[in-house]
């Protein structure tokens, strides 16, 4: 769940900081900042990650056997509902606040994360 939490925090941080950065630098630069932030983990992986030794070779059938386990499908469904719900709510609320309460887009984007 740590990796899933890291993915959720990235979405929250982007929604929190992107409108403020756009007000100062413009949306084109915000995409450049996001691309630069995505390059950091890529560089860490390229420099420090090593390929494990391939000791045992498994046939394709054994690799695909995980698709027939019911626990995997159950956990996947739970993850889809929770993460999809989070993303849906995180992307809908700023639009709702902007249209219903007539706040600025930067205030609307920050509000779901500041009222925890």
Asked if the structure places residue 22 within a domain, the reply is yes
Asked if the structure places residue 5 within a domain, the reply is no
pLDDT tens track for 64-112? 998 999 999 999 899 889 888 887 887 788 888 888 888 887 777 766 5
What pLDDT was estimated at residue 51? Answer: 80
What pLDDT was estimated at residue 116? Answer: 41
Asked if the structure places residue 3 within a domain, the reply is no
Domain boundaries, position 86: 10-48+69-114
Contact 30, 19 (CB under 8 A): no
The Cβ of residue 45 has, within 10 Å, a number of other Cβ atoms equal to 9
Among all chains, which residue has been given the structure tokens 């902007």? Answer: 98
Asked if the structure places residue 87 within a domain, the reply is yes
- What average pLDDT does the segment 13-32 reach? 85
What pLDDT was estimated at residue 77? Answer: 92
Asked if the structure places residue 59 within a domain, the reply is no
Asked if the structure places residue 29 within a domain, the reply is yes
pTM above 0.85, yes or no: no
- What average pLDDT does the segment 9-22 reach? 78
Asked if the structure places residue 54 within a domain, the reply is no
**How many domains are contained in the chain?**
1
Asked if the structure places residue 56 within a domain, the reply is no
Question: Percent of the chain beyond pLDDT 90?
Answer: 16
Q: DSSP letters along 4-63, please?
A: HHHHHHHHHHHHHHHHHHHHHH-HHHHHHHHHHHHHHHHHHHHHH--PPP--S---HHHH
């Amino acid at each position: 769940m740590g990796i899933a939490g890291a993915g959720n925090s990235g979405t929250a941080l982007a929604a929190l900081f992107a409108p403020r950065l756009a007000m100062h630098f413009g949306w084109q630069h915000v995409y450049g900042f996001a691309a630069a932030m995505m390059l950091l983990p890529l560089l860490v992986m390229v420099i420090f990650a090593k390929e494990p030794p391939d000791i045992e070779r498994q046939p394709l059938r054994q690799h695909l056997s995980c698709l027939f386990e019911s626990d995997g499908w159950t956990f996947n469904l739970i993850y889809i509902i929770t993460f999809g719900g989070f993303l849906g709510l995180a992307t809908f609320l700023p639009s709702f606040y902007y249209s219903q309460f007539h706040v600025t887009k930067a205030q609307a984007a920050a509000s779901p994360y500041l009222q925890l």
